[in-house]
Amino acid sequence: MDEKYIDSAVEQFRGLLTQQLERCEKMAQNQGKTDFSSLDQIVIGVCGGDGIGPIITAEAERLLHFLLRNEIESGKVKIKTIEGLTIENRLEKNEPVPSDVLAEIKTCNVLLKGPTTTPKGGTMESANVTLRRELDLFANVRPVKVPQEGIDWIFYRENTEGEYVLGSRGVEVPEKLAFDFKVTTDLGTRRIAKAAFDYAEKNGKTNVAIVTKANIMKKTDGKFTQICHEVASEYPNITAEDWYIDIMTANLVNKDIRNQFQVFVLPNLYGDIITDEAAQIQGGVGTAGSANVGDKYAMFEAIHGSAPRMVEEGIAEYANPSSIFKATEMMLRHIGFSAIADTLMEAMEICSEKEKKVVVTGNTDGATCKEFGDYVMATVESLSK
């Protein structure tokens, strides 16, 4: 009886290994980097997603139209609303990202995306995972700041492999056992490590923490650590330190030492988990933005989920758009509008920390998403005068 499962699992593993080796080949063919300054027109796609997604994303789109009105008028920027990245459409088409939606996304240079619901169990992959893979968005960049405590962290989370790449392709022997796979490649690790160390070097950082569980995940995390150190050797002014994810998780809540950390580089799943912890330290997952960056495309999103509970309770309009606004700021910077991004950042600091005239609580006792959007835009306006 077990033989049957063993044979089919071995066959499946052969297929997975072959595919992953093909992925390595593809990574080796350098696709070239988009140079935004040389584009005649930058196309920004906007996808609403599920739950509170359409509400916060519509607000971010309104903000973009406001901030980029001159660029849109001159034709330098085009904003495209992309429909169909909804759980209903995905389930109906039985595709994590329906092919026509993906084709539409690929006509854009960058994407601003609302949270999408991930079906639990089953075999349907998360839309995020599909998009990150299809657009080869290998770096998940998540900054977290708590200025009054001197915390200025940036996480470089590997975004296309590790525990995620075959997360929907495990093997099961019913009522006996289940296997999942974790994949770490040389090229995949080298490119995320390079992104982290490049960032550190360009931004005057002196320290990069390489965070793994290499004492247990010996092959995959062992490779990750080794390659990060190889890359580190090309950056003599930056110290690379090894940490295990368990103690690093504790360190982030240790007020005596946490502000010493600067840049983190880590495999996919640890990055997923610890960036939620870090965002909570900053004020909640609703306050952090996230960039998914590849050589050709980039996607910017809130780090929180679609909050279906808020929709069920009829309070979706009270959702906090701060996270997607921070993602918008990261996007503006990425496509070359640093001055506009700086103004937005300053306005966000005023609105969320210094002045707080309009406060979103995620409930009816706070302001609505739209009221907060109005406040941010009015603050930008006053800063530009």
Q: For ligand IPM, which residue of 61, 71, 272, 329 counts as binding (CB under 6 A)?
A: 272
- 151 bridge partner residues: 146
Of 126-134, 227-235, 237-245, 321-329, the segment contacting ligand IPM by CB under 6 A is 126-134
Q: Does 272 bind Mg ion (CB under 5 A)?
A: yes
Q: Both tokens of residue 98?
A: 């329906």
Do the beta carbons of residue 323 and residue 303 sit within 8 Å? yes
- Kindly state the smallest distance separating residue 129's Cβ from Mg ion, in Å: 11
Cβ proximity to Mg ion: between 142 and 194 the closer is 142
DSSP character at residue 163: T
User: Could you tell me the sign of the dihedral formed by the alpha carbons of 105, 70, 319, 138, in that order?
Assistant: positive
Q: Does 360 bind ligand IPM (CB under 6 A)?
A: no
Q: Does 299 bind ligand IPM (CB under 6 A)?
A: no
Do the beta carbons of residue 223 and residue 189 sit within 8 Å? yes
Phi-psi region of 204 (alpha: psi -120 to 50; beta: other; left: phi over 0): left
- Kindly state the smallest distance separating residue 213's Cβ from ligand IPM, in Å: 17
Cβ proximity to ligand IPM: between 285 and 347 the closer is 285
Q: Does 126 bind ligand IPM (CB under 6 A)?
A: yes
Cβ proximity to ligand IPM: between 161 and 272 the closer is 272
Do the beta carbons of residue 49 and residue 113 sit within 8 Å? yes
Do the beta carbons of residue 231 and residue 219 sit within 8 Å? no
- Kindly state the smallest distance separating residue 118's Cβ from Mg ion, in Å: 10
Site string for ligand IPM, 59-98 (x = CB under 6 A): ----------------------------------------
What is the distance between the alpha carbons of residues 41 and 38, in angstroms, rounded to a whole number? 9
> CA angle, 90 as apex, 175 and 94 as ends, to 5°?
55
Query: Which residues in this chain contact Mg ion in the complex, by CB under 5 A?
Result: 272
Query: Which residues in this chain contact ligand IPM in the complex, by CB under 6 A?
Result: 118, 126, 128-129, 272, 303
